[in-house]
């Protein structure tokens, strides 16, 4: 499996991304207020037994410092643990019922997949709730800034 395969599957979910109010393509999405979301693939790449994994890396680029770095409080990652309450542990685990090795990667913080069909199933289950979570986080950060500015 190659990065191009992943990009092809991500293109299939662009309508979900647009409905959530994000722009961008192939795992690189933005909100108008400067929040940037990237689909980060496991740096070790494809493994025939462990598959591949991804997390959603989120940064509020409107809060960059003088050197262009986003401070830690304006960053987060969406992992299986982040969505566990929203989706339920059983729903995520059911995606991997046939492969306990991949299911164990959920505990390590990665959304794992071993072929494009599983990647589609994982994205279908987690992308919309993840983008909703990111939008709420972004709005909460803005309202916190507004309150701090009025004091």
State whether residue 47 is helix, strand or coil: strand
Q: What is the pLDDT of residue 150?
A: 47
d(CA 108, CA 138): 25
pLDDT tens per residue across span 60-106: 999 988 898 999 999 999 999 999 888 887 888 898 999 888 888 88
85 vs 79, 80, 82, 109, 133, CA distance in Å? Answer: 12, 10, 7, 15, 11
Residue 44: inside a domain: yes
The answer to whether the CB of 110 falls within 8 A of the CB of 55 is: yes
Q: Are 136 and 103 in contact (CB under 8 A)?
A: no
Query: Does any domain span residue 58?
Result: yes
For residue 73, the enclosing domain spans 3-144
Q: Is residue 150 part of a domain?
A: no
151 domain-assigned? no
Mean pLDDT of the chain: 88
| 125 is a domain residue | yes
Portion of the chain with pLDDT greater than 70, in percent: 94
Domain-embedded: residue 110: yes
| Polymer length in residues for the chain | 151
Is the residue at 8 inside a domain? yes
| Residue 4, pLDDT above cutoff 50 | yes
Number of domains in the chain: 1
- Residue 63: inside a domain, yes or no? yes
For the segment 41-62, what is each residue's pLDDT rounded down to a tens digit? 988 777 877 789 999 999 999 9
């Amino acid at each position: 499996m190659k990065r191009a395969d992943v990009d092809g599957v991500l293109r299939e979910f662009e309508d979900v991304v647009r409905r959530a109010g994000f722009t961008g393509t192939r795992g690189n999405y933005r909100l108008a207020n400067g929040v940037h979301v990237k689909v980060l693939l496991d740096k070790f790449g494809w493994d025939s037994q462990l598959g591949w994994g991804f997390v959603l890396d989120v940064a509020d680029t409107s809060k960059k410092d003088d050197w262009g770095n986003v401070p830690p409080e304006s960053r987060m990652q969406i992992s299986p643990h982040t969505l566990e309450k929203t989706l339920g542990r059983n729903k995520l685990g059911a995606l991997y019922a046939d492969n306990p090795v991949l299911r164990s990667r959920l505990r390590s913080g990665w959304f794992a997949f071993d072929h494009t069909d599983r990647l589609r199933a994982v994205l279908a289950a987690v992308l919309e709730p993840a983008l909703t979570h990111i939008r709420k986080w972004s709005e909460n950060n803005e309202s916190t800034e507004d309150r701090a500015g009025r004091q």
